[in-house]
Structure formats: C-alpha cells, structure tokens
Structure 1
Amino acid sequence: MHLTYWKEKLVQIQRQKNFPIWCFLFLLISGYTLFLTSTVWYPENQDYVAPTKYYEQHQVGVYQISVTDWKYSKKDHAMQIIFEKQNREILDEKLYFGAMERTGGELEVKAVLDEPDYLILRIENIPENWKEISLRVGNTENEDSMKKFYTNVNRVEETKKLALKDEKGYLMDRLLAQKRQADQELEEIQKKITKLLQENEDLSKKEEEIKAKTYLTQAEQKKGEETLIRAENQILINQETIEHLEEEAVEKENDIDSLKMKIDELK
C-alpha cells in the first residue's frame, strides 16, 4: 500500500515538473517556427543588394539607360525614378516594367512620362515596413531578361511629398536631377585639380631642398639628380592633366549654365 502511494505521488510530482518545461518547449518551438516562416521579419543587419548607382549605363533593348534620380515619400507611399535614355538604333521600342518589395511581393509601377530621351516611373502602395525594392525594366515581359535596379530603406533618398505632376513638372524634376549631377561632377573635377596643384607645389619644394644641399658624396649627388628628373617629369604630367581638367570644368560650367536657363524658363 505504501509503495502504491509513493508511486502515485511520484507521478504527480513528475507531472507538475514537466508541465512548465513542456510549455516552455512549446513556446520556444512555436516562436522559432514563426521566425523562420515569417515574410515580414528581417534583422537590422540584413544584407541588401547594392543600390543602383546614378548615371551608371545599362543596356535594355535598343536603349542605354541610367538612373538619375530615385526618391521615396513615406507620406505618399510612393517612389519616383528618373531614367535617361539613349537609343542607338533608328526605331524606338516599348519598355515593360515591374517592381517587387522583398518582404511584400509585387508592387504597382507605371510610367508617368515616357519620352524618347528620358523615362519617369512611379511605384505606388509601398508598405510602411518595406526593406528593399527591385525595379525591373525590359523590352519584353519576360522577367528573366529584364534589367534589375535596386534601392533599400537605408540608402534611398527621402522626400516629404511625391505628388502627381503634369509634363512640365516632371521635366523640371529631370532638369534638377541633371543639374545636381553636373554640380557633383564639377566639384569632383575641382577636387582633382586642387590635389594636383598641391602635389606640384610639394614636388617643387622637394626640388628646392635637393638643390640646396651641399657637400654631397658622388652617390648622393647622383641620387639627387635622378630625383630631380622624376620630380620635373611628374610636374609636367600633372600640369598637362590640370589643363585637361580645366577644359572639362569649363564645359561642365557651360552645361550647368544651360540647365539653369532651362530651369528658369520652366518656372
């Protein structure tokens, strides 16, 4: 009788101890399963495809196209993407578009303006918790042959509003994007010129230091002469590069002035 009593007691204790353990395991497995099957959860350090670079050329059918502007409005749940187009052939082709958000599936995309030399697309109904968007452009509806362009939540340029516009408004957006790029390119040219001018100044100082040295051994004198020759050659090379860059800067400044005039005419 005592043995039966203790057996029953032991069963009760085991049940009491196992119950919370089984509950814990159930919750752990359920949570892990939810994590693996969820379509909306992505860790903060999730790797993204590198965003498409502005003015990087891509072949799509008969066109060379490049993204010049990609903006996102959280308020409007929309994106606007501007492409420059160059047709190397005689006849134009129809282009097809598609967009996908990595956690939310297909998105609505349409061409709000499609001109021979530029294209403006609009993606709508973007979910608030979006992570990364792949935009597809091609000369057929076959997704495998379409060119993909990317942006993600960490790198996209945000703007307060992306209202629908008329042709004049979209042309203004295009010109502003072109001017911004031209301004950046001019700044890069000026930085290169400044760097080369500084290098030539440093080389000239080095030449003066070498020439000022006295009581040199024959080996030291020979080494100094070789250094002077290399420095002088590098100064000449740099000067030629500077002159070429200055010509580029003038051309870029003319482009910027022309864009400013077009922008002013549209205002």
Structure 2
Amino acid sequence: MKLKDRISIKRNKDAIRFFIIIFFFVGGYVFFFSSTYWMPTSADASYLTKIGVTNSWEDREVTINRWQYSETQQLMEIDLDVANKSYDGINKYKFSAMDLKGNKLKCDVMIEEDDWIILRISGIPKRWSDVSLRMEMPDGNGERLKLYTNVVDVEKVAELKSMDRNGYMAQKFNIEISNMQKEVEADNKQIDKLNNEIAEVQKEIERINKEKIYQTDKEKTESDSLIAEANSTITSKQKDIQELMADIDEINKRIDMKNKEKSDLGL
C-alpha cells in the first residue's frame, strides 16, 4: 500500500473518532439540559417536611398531620395543627404555594380555625418533583415558614373529596387514632425483639454453666463474670420492655379517649 493511501486511511479514522467524541459530548450535553422537559427533576431529600414533626415558627408550633396528592385531580390537601404559644390573638395566616421551578400554584383555605387548618393546592403540574407551602403572618411581617413535600414521599390517593367540617374532623380523628395504633404496633415489635434477645442470652448462660463442670477454678471465675454480665444485660432489656409496655398502656388510653371524643361529637 502506498504511503499516500495509508495517510488517507489514517486521516479518515481520526476524523471518525473525532465525530464520535463530538457526538457523545453534544448528545450528553443535550440530554442533561433537556431531561427536565421529558422527566421530572429528581426530588431532593432536603425538600421534605416530615409528617407529625413540630416546626417552630413565630412563637408557634406548626405540625403537618396529612399531606395528600391526587394525580388525576392535580390536587393536594394539607392538614395542619397550629399551636400559638405567643397568645397574641393572631390565628389567621397568609398561605401560598409554588413548585421547584418557581411556578405559583393556587392555594385555597378549606378550614381555618385557631388551631386547625385545611388547605388545598390545585393545578399541580403533571411532571413535578417538589412543592413548597408558604405560611406568613397576616401583615406580611416576620419570617416566612416554608413546608415541603416531594413526588417520592407525598401520600398518594386516588381522590380528594370535598367535605364539610364534620367530615374533615372525622378524618382527622381517624388519622390520629391510626397513627397511635402504629405506635403500639412498633412498640410490640420492639418487645418481641427484646424477648428474642433475652432468650438468646439465656441460652448462652446455659451453655456457660454446662462448660463450668470441666473448668478449673480460675476458668469458673471467668465464666461467672460472663454470666453476671449476661444477667445484667437481661435486666436492662427487661427494664426496656417494662417501659415499652407502660408506653403501650398510655397510648391505648389515649386511643380510648380519642374514640370517646369522636363519639361525643357525633362523628
């Protein structure tokens, strides 16, 4: 093969390599900057306000009891408890909402009482990742409270039905009772776990005691020390079980009182 032909072939190969590199570079660039148009932005774990956790704001304690999302209705509903610790008589607030891209969303107040608020956010985009609910004092002064949910963690429901006060109140009671029942279940699981651990420790004590038959006095002293540590571990775990049982008893009493309150209100 002539030198000229070899040079030509080499140049063609180099050109092909160059275009392949450019193709992948440009393709990756376009993919990165266009991906948000054909798929939702990944929800950031930092954009999440946990359900049932108190948020301190302007001498108030704000707790999300429920944050639900209906995709078919493009609608969200948020249930808030607000404890005013300042006792300033201000119990009405301004609310607004927006998505991660800064698009404003319609926010309507369904229920607004001194310590309980139901809100609806409508017009949720089909492709969304995070939504922020903003809460302000009525005069606009002070700090703005921002509460967040994301497409991964929000509770998804088929439909959000409009209800009267009694309907929302009954729902609130049911959620509170359900959450307390979950606490009881979690405590019972922990008790089972501790009982299983105690059983394993007791097996180990039995094993050590059997081995003592063929041990020297020095070895028996070491074994007795291990048994004492094991018994101490059992005592500690039994104490934890007693505390969990007391917690379960208290929660069950609260459930009974909540059911009584619900019944007295005719809900």
Whether TM-score is above 0.5 comes out as: yes
Matched to 1:202, the amino acid is E
Question: How is 1:103-252 mapped onto 2 (pairs within 5 angstroms)?
Answer: 103=101, 105-139=103-137, 145-213=143-211, 214-252=213-251
Given that 2:53 and 2:63 are in contact with CA atoms closer than 8 Å, whether structure 1 keeps it comes out as yes
Task: Give the SS at the match of 2:147.
Answer: strand
| Counterparts of 1:243 and 1:90, CA distance in 2 | 39
Residues 103-144 of structure 1, C-alpha deviation per residue, up to 9 Å, x if partnerless? Answer: 361111122112233222111121222221111223367699
Given that 2:133 and 2:146 are in contact with CA atoms closer than 8 Å, whether structure 1 keeps it comes out as yes
| Counterparts of 1:199 and 1:149, CA distance in 2 | 41
- Matching residue of 1:16: none
| Change in CA separation of 1:44 and 1:65 when aligned onto 2, cut-off 3 Å | closer
Matched to 2:99, the amino acid is E
Structure 2: runs of 5+ lacking an equivalent: 1-18
Residues 128-169 of structure 1, C-alpha deviation per residue, up to 9 Å, x if partnerless? Answer: 222211112233676992222211122211112212221111
- CA positional deviation for 1:80: 0.7
- Matching residue of 2:86: 89
Given that 1:40 and 1:103 are in contact with CA atoms closer than 8 Å, whether structure 2 keeps it comes out as no
| Counterparts of 1:141 and 1:156, CA distance in 2 | 30
| Counterparts of 2:197 and 2:36, CA distance in 1 | 54
| Counterparts of 1:38 and 1:236, CA distance in 2 | 58
Structure 1: runs of 5+ lacking an equivalent: 1-20
- Matching residue of 2:13: none
Given that 2:173 and 2:262 are in contact with CA atoms closer than 8 Å, whether structure 1 keeps it comes out as yes
| Change in CA separation of 1:138 and 1:193 when aligned onto 2, cut-off 3 Å | farther
Please give the TM-score of this superposition, normalised by the length of structure 2.
0.78
Given that 2:98 and 2:133 are in contact with CA atoms closer than 8 Å, whether structure 1 keeps it comes out as yes
| Change in CA separation of 1:248 and 1:128 when aligned onto 2, cut-off 3 Å | same
Matched to 1:175, the amino acid is F
**Is the counterpart of residue 59 in structure 1 residue 56 in structure 2?**
yes
- Matching residue of 2:99: 101
Alignment RMSD, CA only? 3.0
Matched to 1:107, the amino acid is L
- CA positional deviation for 1:49: 3.0
Residues 6-38 of structure 1, C-alpha deviation per residue, up to 9 Å, x if partnerless? Answer: xxxxxxxxxxxxxxx9xx99xx69x93x97489
Task: Give the SS at the match of 2:49.
Answer: coil
Please give the TM-score of this superposition, normalised by the length of structure 1.
0.78
